[in-house]
Chain A
Amino acid sequence: MKSTPTPAFDPVLDPNSDAGTSRDAIGLGQVAGKGLNTLHGTILTLEDISVSFDGFKALNDLNLYIRVGELRCIIGPNGAGKTTLMDVITGKTRPSHGKAWFGETLDLTKMSEVQIAQAGIGRKFQKPTVFEALSVFENLELAQKTDKSVWASLRAKLNGEQRDRIDEVLETIRLSASMSRLAGLLSHGQKQFLEIGMLLVQDPQLLLLDEPVAGMTDAETEFTAELFKSLAGKHSLMVVEHDMGFVGSIADHVTVLHQGSVLAEGSLEDVQADERVIEVYLGR
């Protein structure tokens, strides 16, 4: 994988390093402006993104735009590059070329995972990952939007407002009764919900959700669909899912990924009627 060289000076020791405000001050200077700016209504811009693993192109000149407040579903067969796409957006994988902008001003290809998260992109992983040795409540406490520097963590104490917010989210994800249980003891579906809850308290502008309803019952899936629909508008969501029923119930706009690039885009009916899409799904 060809990667962009990391800046010579990493703001590791700067406890106040938050994306968009301090980056210029510490001399990285690659970011044009400060903070998230979505003046033209586009929250995420991906252009000509390519990622290759030892010559294998997981993403191939991919173009994707997501508008503010949109709920976008990404579908595609296994290995289409959906997870890799999220890796690129969150800074886990660097594209070999292409542009990735968060809002108008933040260049995702130049930011670290931490900076991207602090700038307002939250992610739920395909395999649910929670902090197993911590309680459900503590998982939410860590994820909650606040100053996440070393010094702040040393003296942090939850205030009433933060506690209320966590209680509210616990209610939403239906884990109030298990709030002091260790997260490692939760069922697969409960972990999925906990991770979604962690995203909610993190309060990002853009939420990336990788197969959020895998392992959930029908009722839970339906509930999640409602939850996501209620989030859209205030937040922008990008949901990867194989469950077409779920996709149909939430998305008005669907992108089909195939072999690392966009095959089709449009409403679910439109893309399902698209011959190339049918071929990809049936010819698999």
Chain B
Amino acid sequence: MNQPLMVTAAQRAGTQVTVAVGVVILALLIALPLLSLLPESNSLQVSAYTLTLVGKILCYAIVALALDLVWGYAGLLSLGHGLFFALGGYAMGMYLMREASGDGLPAFMTFLSWTELPWYWVGTQHFLWAMCLVVLAPGLLALVFGFFAFRSRIKGVYFSIMTQALTFAGMLLFFRNETGFGGNNGFTNFRSILGFSITSQGTRAVLFLLTVALLAGSLFVGWRLARSKFGRVLTAVRDAENRLMFCGYDPRGFKLFVWVLSAVLCGLAGALYVPQVGIINPSEMSPTNSIEAAVWVALGGRGTLIGPLLGAGLVNGMKSWFTVAFPEYWLFFLGALFIVVTLYLPKGVIGLIKKRGEQ
């Protein structure tokens, strides 16, 4: 979690293994979209279903990493990260809806017999402005929420409950047709992105590669942060915030920075998720989604960079298998998993692997 100054030989060997595994996984992730471009007759061809599934899980992995930055490092358990993810997704969705409807209004607005676009839709036909919104919507919300929460020194369970309430409120707001985001159906039936058909193999492959790039970028940012003095200050915020203040640090600025960064990463992940999955609706903001993200992080091992990725991969991999094999048992299984991890794996799967490695 922290970088001790003297790295022992064993740790160095561990790092080498991690790097090797990382390179292999990265190579596989880059190969996957390329293989999807092969003709269907080829036995190595990767189906669109598989590519979408893995792409979706990668987006979740970015959310897990972002959540871990605030939870694992700074000790702020957010149960509302789904909101930031969904906001990024909706911002991208606005562009895709405009792209699909051409000069007219998006279909759901015509259905409501609206005659003009609400003001917040202005400019969303431009890809660049939509990309700004992807960053600004979650970023500004996190900034305002964080500013007041940290100024009032809201911590621990209270903070978690407030974030949960925030995403719940967001969901209720987006459920309303009057809000102008398609009500409970959300956005779907996308056609193209920057003129490229959204369902074509090439577009899918590019979106997938962008997701891999975002994940790698987030990992790099997280790694730099964790190794910097900033990262150590965050650890200190988590463990002894008062002591830190008497050392002359203002914890609020540190928390706000990592909080907003985390929200923006989630927003970007959401923006890549929507065109790949082809739909965004308010259920993405449901409290259970955000709680599930916390389970990924806890299972993988919080306070590490690899742990959350592993957790997101494992849980979602199991989920897609379960929902095919025994759909009705998935939630029970998830609950049981959470209990087992809390009781027996306080440091997550990563902790278990590290322990094995030391023996």
Q: Footprint of B on A, CB under 8 Å?
A: 10, 12-13, 15, 17, 90, 92, 112-114, 117-118, 122-123, 125, 129-135, 137-138, 141-143, 145, 148-150, 153-156, 179-180, 198, 202
Contact = CB atoms under 8 A, between A and B. Distances in A.
Determine which residue in B238, B246, B250, B254 has the highest number of CB atoms from chain A within 10 A of its CB, and name it: B246
Given A12-B147, A133-B239, A153-B230, A180 B253 contact: no
B319 interface: no
A12 B5 contact: no
Determine which residue in A135, A142, A143 has the highest number of CB atoms from chain B within 10 A of its CB, and name it: A142
B233 A153 contact: yes
13 contacts: A10-B151, A12-B252, A131-B243, A131-B244, A132-B239, A134-B235, A138-B2, A142-B233, A148-B247, A148-B248, A149-B253, A153-B229, A154-B229
Contacts of A131: 232, 235-236, 239-240, 243-244
Nearest to A92: B242
Nearest to B143: A13
B6 interface: yes
Contacts of A130: 240, 243
Nearest to A149: B253
Contacts of A123: 246
B200 interface: no
A217 B194 CA distance: 73
Given A12-B151, A150-B253, A202 B239 contact: no
B121 interface: no
A150 B257 contact: yes
Given A130-B243, A138-B5, A154-B230, 8 more contacts: A113-B242, A133-B239, A138-B2, A142-B244, A153-B228, A153-B254, A156-B228, A198-B247
Contacts of A113: 242, 245-246
A84 to B, nearest CB: 15
A154 B225 CA distance: 7
Contacts of B253: 12-13, 15, 149-150
Given A138-B2, A150-B253, A156-B228, A133 B235 contact: yes
Nearest to A181: B4
B150 interface: yes
Chain B interface mostly: helix
Interface in B2-27: 2, 4-6
B157 interface: no
A142 B250 contact: no
A138 B243 contact: no
B248 A135 contact: no
Sorted nearest first, the 8 A-B pairs with minimum C-beta distance are A117-B248, A156-B229, A153-B230, A150-B253, A113-B245, A12-B252, A114-B250, A118-B248
B1 interface: yes
B243 A180 contact: no
Contact of A150 (B4, B230, B236): B230
A123 B244 CA distance: 11
B100 interface: no
A88 to B, nearest CB: 14
B168 to A, nearest CB: 27
Contacts of A134: 2, 232, 235-236
B249 interface: yes
Contacts of B243: 125, 129-131
